[in-house]
Each structure stands twice: as C-alpha cells, then as structure tokens.
Structure 1
Amino acid sequence: MVFVDLDDGPEHPVYPGVGFITIPELSWWGFESPHDIVEVGQRVTCQFLGFDTHLGEARLSLRAARPDPLRAFANEHRVGDVLPGTVTKVVPFGVFVRVGGPLEGLVHRDLSGGPEWDALVPGLPVTVVITEIDCDRRRIALAWR
C-alpha cells in the first residue's frame, strides 16, 4: 500500500490528510516493487475511488488517472489482425507473447500450427493472430500465424 499526502483531502482519524493507493491501483503494468512506480516525496495525480467512512480512508488510484493501454490497443486492433510479437514466457498451458508495447497475449497450448513447443523460449520473435480482445477480463487471446 502507498500512502499519499492529500493537498485538500478528507481527514483521516489516525493519518490526517492521507489517502491510500493499493498495489493493484498503482499501474496498468506489472512491477516488482511500488518503488518502481513511485518514490517517497514524488508528487502524483490520482483518481479518487471512494471514501471508506468506517475506516476514514480515502481510496485512490494512480492507474485510473492514466489511459488504459488495453483499451487503446483494442481501438487500434481487431480480431484477425496479424502481429509480430516476442515470446515472454512459456508455461504448461501456453505461451505469453508481447504484442504492442508491454501488452501480452496468450497462445493456448492446445492450438497447433505454430513453432515446435520445445523451441519456444523467451525472446523468440513470432507472428501471431488476434483471436479475442476482452477488455473487461483484461485478456488478449492469440493463435499462431
């Protein structure tokens, strides 16, 4: 959790003028530590999510104050688009492929027609086709091209 000193915020019974950003609300992207996103003393602009009257806490979101990269991707691409990508991770159920900046999609293992599974390693360039973009579930489904 990240504590934010509010310029003009509601009073907190223990930490007056403090808001809170939970880890998932820090960024659209994955990260190792909150220090990868913010530093102590850094000035930030957040979106107000709500106020917990029971705990007296202002809930904030740093990521909601920035454009959603998946929605931007969905506005630019459609099912059937062919994209270059790079394998980022091979897992028992499939392969994650980076497409469009840091966005990743998944090619399920049960799909055939692509490279040999044993040859798939992180960093390998591949070509994929979009089979689904689900902004609500935050997923991009891919197949081999």
Structure 2
Amino acid sequence: MGVRSDNPELWTFLESLRCGEVLFGTVAAIESFGVFVALDDGPEHPDFPGVGFITIPELSWRRFEAVSDVVQVGQRVSCEFLQFDTSNLEARLSLRAGQPDPFQAYADGVAVGQILHGQVTKLVPFGVFVQVADGVEGLVHLRELTLTPTEALSEVFPIGDQVTVVVTAIDRERRRLTLSQRQGPSHLR
C-alpha cells in the first residue's frame, strides 16, 4: 500500500485533488471507524469499498448515536476533500464541511452571562452536557453544578431533565460552550 507504482491510476487521481474541492459519490460501506464512499469520478480502490473515506467526527456537526443516523449505504453524498491519505491510498473527506456549523451561528447570538434553558443530554465523570439549541451543547462542569457531596449526578440530573444555566465561556475555535448552574440568580435550578 502507498507505493505509487502499485496503482498509478489511483495515485494520479488522488494527487490531482485539492483541499476544499467538492466531490460526489455514493456511500459504499459503513464501519465502526468511518464511512467508505465510492467517488463518481475516481477509480476503484484495490482493497476498500471506496476511494473516499469519512471519519466519524467529519460526518456531522451534531451529536449522533449511530452512523446510520447520518448516512445509509447507497446514499448519494457531496463531500469536501480534506487530504490524500498516502498510506491507505484514499481521499479523506468531510460531509459536515458542506453544512453550516450550528455552533458558530448560535455563538453569534449568545453572550457570556446570558441565562439559557436546556435539556440534559449526557452525564460524564466531570459534569453534565446540556443541549441549549438544535445541534448545540454546552458543558456544566461538576464544580459548577448545585450538587451536594451525597447526591448522585444521575439522580439530580437525569437525562432529559430541563435545567437553567448561565453561559460562562464561548470558545468558537474549539466549538465549546461552558455553562454554570451555580452562577446567576439564586442557583438557577
């Protein structure tokens, strides 16, 4: 793999692609580590179901449980070319790059100190994720929760529970919204 003489047609095709170029194809296979795409204009791959490959994070801006929630085998897709993976002789692609990032649009209309209402979506050892808009979640760190030492996180903040939070930080570059339940008018819960 990855030797130019092994598959000169494929190598030439992949070298001709430019970062940001939009490519069209069909979802050929879904794996736990990503999605293979058979590109319309590309040659066949000698080992994989498609020359294009989308890693899990590049599928969608939104959180999803299963890859099949985003794409299905046989589905037509348009993807942005990211890079030529010379070790696997494949085109690394992004499906989400062609979609507006809901976080950036949301960040335009929210400010630090603003009170938000949201739904608990995930519990992690270091806090709680709260969905404050479609496709936008923020983290309330443990130290920012109104939780006594004897209370279990899952009892006080069951998934699906509605909570009131305050925005404490907005990181556009890392797409992170930091929230607090302690700050603001009389412990917001």
TM-score scaled by length of structure 1:
0.83
Task: Give 3-state SS (helix, strand or coil) of 1:72's partner.
Answer: helix
Q: Partners in 2 of 1:97 and 1:14 — Cα distance?
A: 42
Q: Partners in 2 of 1:40 and 1:125 — Cα distance?
A: 36
Aligned alpha-carbon RMSD (Å): 2.4
Distance 1:7 1:135, change over 3 A: same
Q: Is the 8 A contact 1:7 1:17 kept in 2?
A: no
Please say which of residues 40-49 and 28-37 is displaced more in the overlay: 28-37
Which blocks of at least 5 consecutive residues in structure 2 are unaligned?
1-33, 185-189
Task: Provide Cα deviations, 1:73-95, integer angstroms capped at 9, x if missing partner.
Answer: 11121212211112223444322
Q: Is the 8 A contact 1:2 1:20 kept in 2?
A: yes
Q: Partners in 1 of 2:39 and 2:180 — Cα distance?
A: 46
Q: Partners in 2 of 1:101 and 1:46 — Cα distance?
A: 22
The answer to whether residue 120 in structure 2 is matched with residue 83 in structure 1 is no
TM-score scaled by length of structure 2:
0.65
Sequence identity of aligned pairs in percent?
58
- What corresponds to 2:54 in structure 1? 21
Q: Partners in 1 of 2:70 and 2:62 — Cα distance?
A: 10
Which blocks of at least 5 consecutive residues in structure 1 are unaligned?
none
Higher helix residue share: 2
- What corresponds to 1:107 in structure 2? 140
AA partner of residue 129 (structure 2): F
Q: Offset at 1:104?
A: 1.5
Please say which of residues 11-20 and 97-106 is displaced more in the overlay: 11-20
- What corresponds to 1:121 in structure 2? 158
- What corresponds to 2:84 in structure 1? 51
Q: Is the 8 A contact 1:49 1:61 kept in 2?
A: yes
Q: Is the 8 A contact 1:21 1:62 kept in 2?
A: yes
The total of aligned residue pairs comes to 144
Q: Is the 8 A contact 1:11 1:56 kept in 2?
A: no
